Amino acid sequence: MSQAVVTRSLGGFSFSWADLPFTVDLSRIKESSRGTSGELVVRYVTGSGDPKTLTHQTLNLLTSKTKLAKELHARHEAPWASMLEQVCVLTLRALRQGEPIESLLPTEEDHPAWFILNPLLYDKNPTVIYGPGDSMKSYFSLYLGLLLASGVCGPQLSVAPTPWKVLFLDWEMSVKDVRGRVKMLQAGDPRLSGVPDYRRCYHPLADEVSEIKKAMAEGGYEILILDSLAMAAGGTDLEKADSAIHFNAALRSLNCTSLIIGHTPKPNEEQKERHLYGSVFFSNLTRNSWECRREGQTIGLYHRKHNLGPEHDPLGFSLTLDQESCRITAASLADDAVLSQSLPLQEQIAIALQENPGQTTKEIALAIGAKYESVKSKLNYCKTRFCSLNGKWEVVA
């Protein structure tokens, strides 16, 4: 018997032997406390070239293969014990080896992280938009997908003119409901001629990553939109680190740009900043995150994490919805009494002084509901923007 020829497939590994008419595919490989297991498919390649499946079952790579070898031998004579041993040993060796070591010496092609959708999405990196229920984050994220698929820019949002291939992975709605939203967004902006493709999902991303990887390769998808994080991560024990680690490991293996829609726990309107629901590792492992808040038809996006570039100013959008269309335009968060409270302290101070110039530090702090010491420190730090005369502050820039 010859040595197996190993080919890495989208979902795992394929094995063949030059002197044997059999192929073995091992996919959906998982490692747990009970060992390393995967789905095994053994096929007999007949003279006509049409493969005949001999078995399709789960195989634990670290347990005895004697019983399975006997079962296969009863169906077709072959050195099954040796073949299965090669499959297990070579698979474990490839898994343990991991990715090759590479030099960090930059080349002419290397550059800092660049935008796919400026300022929200970076190439080959995940971005999370999170907020409470009914904050319109899913609607807005679908709009971003339409901008990308159409290669057109939106208010305060820049996209390259070449359309991107976008896949919408949905754990929450139906394709009919999402199509309805697409129709309304297109009615609001006829430029949105390109649309993402759609895949309805039931299982956690980590359990379906092989099939999604295959679909991405076949469809040429470059960007994923995941709605939503809680379901994609498993829906249970989200407070545990394992949920976040497994989800992010699966997402990383897809090696693509992604937009993930998340939620917040028990929204408290008094909070200046809300947090992404679940283990702190969900926040720690994303490279870029924006908090979404809504008041009426206005939504505000606030940059909460920025590992790939500088912090961006908050973004405001107005969603004008009626029975047949949804039109999205730029909006000023300073014009909304609630959304303006989540702006950076410097912006809140500027708004207060523009509305009522000549206030003292104490009056400003009371007007915006901030701590006196914080306001005092910010005013003294931003000398190019604020100036005082006899303790009365005004905006200069």
Q: Which domains does the chain show, CATH number per domain? A: 5-97 (3.10.450), 115-336 (3.40.50.300), 344-395 (1.10.10.10)
pLDDT of residue 268: 60
pLDDT of residue 335: 83
Residue linked to tokens 């570039």: 309
Sequence-separated (6 or more) residues with CB below 8 Å from residue 279: 238, 239, 240, 241, 243, 244
Residue linked to tokens 């994490």: 305
Burial of 315 by CB count in 10 Å (0-12 exposed, 13-18 middle, 19+ buried)?
A: buried
- pLDDT for 293-319, tens place per residue? 999 999 999 999 999 999 999 999 999
Among 61, 49, 50, 51, residue whose Cα is nearest residue 23: 51
Residue 309 phi/psi, 5-degree rounding, is: -175, -175
Confidence (pTM): 0.80
- pLDDT for 216-225, tens place per residue? 999 999 999 9
pLDDT of residue 119: 97
pLDDT of residue 380: 84
Point out the residues of the chain with pLDDT beneath 70: 10, 49, 267-272, 397
Q: What whole-number distance in Å separates Cα of residue 362 and Cα of residue 375?
A: 8
Among 56, 59, 27, 28, residue whose Cα is nearest residue 42: 56
pLDDT of residue 30: 84
3-state secondary structure 322-336: CCCCEEEEECCHHHC
Asked if 148 and 117 count as a contact pair (C-beta separation under 8 A), the reply is yes
pLDDT of residue 269: 56
In the chain, what is the straight-line distance between the N-terminal and C-terminal CA atoms, in Å? Answer: 80
